[in-house]
Amino acid sequence: MHCTQARRLLQQGDAAAPGDRDAALDHLDHCGECAALAPRLDPVLLFRRLPELAVSAREVERVRDAVSILRRAPADPQPPRVAGMAFRFAAAIVAAAGLWLAPGPPRHEPRPPQSAPEARLAGPVPLPEYLASVETLGASGAYVATQVSEDDLTLVILANVDVAGR
Amino acid sequence: MIDWSALLRRGAVVVLALAAAVTEARGQAAARTDDEPLKVHVFTFEHQSADDALGEIRPLFSDRGSVELKPSGDTVILRDRRGELDRILRTLRDFDHPRRALRLEFQLLRAHKVPFSPQQLSEGVSPALVQRLKQVLRYDTYESLADVGFRSEEGEQVAYDFGDDLGMEFRVGTVLQDSRVGLKNFRVLRRGEGGAALAVLHANLVVRLGQTLALVLMRDEAAESALVIAINCDSVAEPGD
C-alpha cells in the first residue's frame, strides 16, 4: 500500500472498511514517515504503538521492595508512594485498554429496574496510636511480654527480670 | 446518532495521555532531585542533648543525607538536600527548647497471688490503679512498698533508693511534641548481700505526659509475685506560663 492511500484510509477513521483500515495500520509499522504523521490524521493513533517503557533497574528494585512491604503488611493504610504511582499507571492502562476494546453500548431492550443490594460501608476505622514505651532493653535478658495501651494507662509486662530480692 | 465507540476511544486517549504526562513529569522531577547538590548546615545545641536529637531526626534524612556529631557533643553537621534540611532544622529548633521542669511520681508495688484468701486487700494503692491492674494481671493483692514524687527537669540525672535493697536511676530526656519524654538509661538496681548493686533492668523508656506507665517486672508468667513500678510524669507550669 502506498503512503497516499494509507493516509487517506487512516483519515477516514472508523468509516474506512475494516480490511482497508487494517492494511493501512500495517503500513504504519513499516513506514516511519506515515507513523509520525498518523496522530494528525486520526488522534486515536497517537498511542497505537506505545513507546517501550524505559524503567531503570533502580525503579524496578524500589517497586519490588514496595510489593514485598505490602505482602508483609497487607493492612497498611498508606502503601509507599512509588508503588501507588506504578499501580495507578498500570490501572490507567488497563482501564484504557478496556475502553479501547469495548464494543459499544449494549443493544438489548432495557430491563425493568432491579433493587440492588444496599451498599454498606464499615465506616472510619480508628488507627491505633501505638507508642513503644520501652524503646530499648539492656543485655540483662529481660523482654517485653505484653504492652497494653489505653488513654490514661500504659502497662508493660517485662519478663525474665530477677525481682525476687525482697 | 452518537458514535459511542469513537467517544470511548477518545476517552481512552485522554486517560492515557494524562497518565503518560504525570509519569513523565514525576520522572523529570525525580531526576532533578537526584542531581540537586547537597547543602551543609552546622547546628549547635544550646539547651538539649544532641544525642537525644539524633533519634528524632534520623528518619527525616534522605538516602543521600548524613549527620556528624562533633566531639564537643553539642554540635551536629547536617548534609542533605534543601527540602530535607529545612524539615530537619525545624525539628531541631523545636527540640532545642529551654529546659522544662517536670513533676515525676513513682509508686513501687508488690503484686501477690493469694489463692485461698477470702479477702483481697490492697493497701496504700490507688483503687483505680488496682482495678486497672487486675483487669490485665492475675494477681490478687497489691501492696505499696514506696511512693515518691519530686520535681526534676529535662537532662537531669536522677537516682533514688526505694529502700535498703532496691533503687533506680535514670536521666530525664527531652520533652517531645509536648506529649512524651524519655527516661534514658533507666535502671532498676537490686543490692546483694555484699552491698553491690545489680541492675535487674536496664532500658530506655518513653512516658506520655499525664499518663501512667506501669512496668510490671516478673521472673516469668508463673511467678507468685511481681514488682510494679507506676510512673507518672507531667509538665510543671512555670511563672509566666
Q: What backbone torsions phi and psi does residue A146 show, to the nearest 5 degrees?
A: -155, 145
Judged by CB atoms closer than 8 Å, whether chains meet at A136 and B8 is answered as no
**Model confidence at A83: pLDDT above 60:** no
Place of cell 538536600: B81
Shortest distance, CA B82 to any CA of chain A (angstroms): 21
Residue range A32-57: average pLDDT? 70
Per-residue cell: B233: 510524669
A35, with CB counted inside 10 A (0-12, 13-18, 19+), is middle
**Model confidence at B33: pLDDT above 80:** no
As a whole number of angstroms, the distance between CA B142 and CA B85 comes to 51
**Model confidence at B218: pLDDT above 80:** yes
**Model confidence at B184: pLDDT above 50:** yes
- Would you place residue A159 in the very low, low, confident or very high pLDDT band (cuts 50, 70, 90)? confident
**Model confidence at B5: pLDDT above 50:** yes
Please state which of the ranges A145-154, B66-75, B141-150, B154-163 shows the lowest mean pLDDT.
A145-154
What is the chain B residue with the closest CA to A90? Answer: B19
One-letter amino acid for residue B101 of the chain: A
Mean pLDDT of chain B: 84
- Would you place residue B191 in the very low, low, confident or very high pLDDT band (cuts 50, 70, 90)? confident
Percentage of chain A modeled with pLDDT above 90? 0
Q: What pLDDT score was predicted for residue B31? A: 58
Shortest distance, CA B37 to any CA of chain A (angstroms): 20
List C-alpha distances in Å: B67 to A149, B54, B76, B86, B182.
Answer: 34, 8, 7, 14, 22
ipTM: 0.75
Q: How far is CA A130 from the centre of its chain?
A: 29
In this structure, are residues B102 and B234 in contact, taking their beta carbons and an 8 Å threshold? Answer: yes
CA angle B65, B71, B76 (to 5 degrees): 30
End-to-end CA distance of chain A: 100
Per-residue cell: A13: 477513521
Q: pTM of the full predicted structure?
A: 0.57
Judged by CB atoms closer than 8 Å, whether chains meet at B13 and A105 is answered as no
Q: Which residue has the higher pLDDT, A157 or B172?
A: B172
Please state which of the ranges A91-100, B57-66, B79-88 shows the lowest mean pLDDT.
A91-100
Burial string for B212-221 (b: 16+ CB within 10 Å, else e) reads bbbbbbbbee
CB of B10 within 8 Å of a chain A CB? The answer is yes
As a whole number of angstroms, the distance between CA B79 and CA B169 comes to 36
CB of B130 within 8 Å of a chain A CB? The answer is no
Neighbouring C-alpha atoms within 13 Å toward the C-beta of B28: 6
Q: What pLDDT score was predicted for residue B77? A: 93
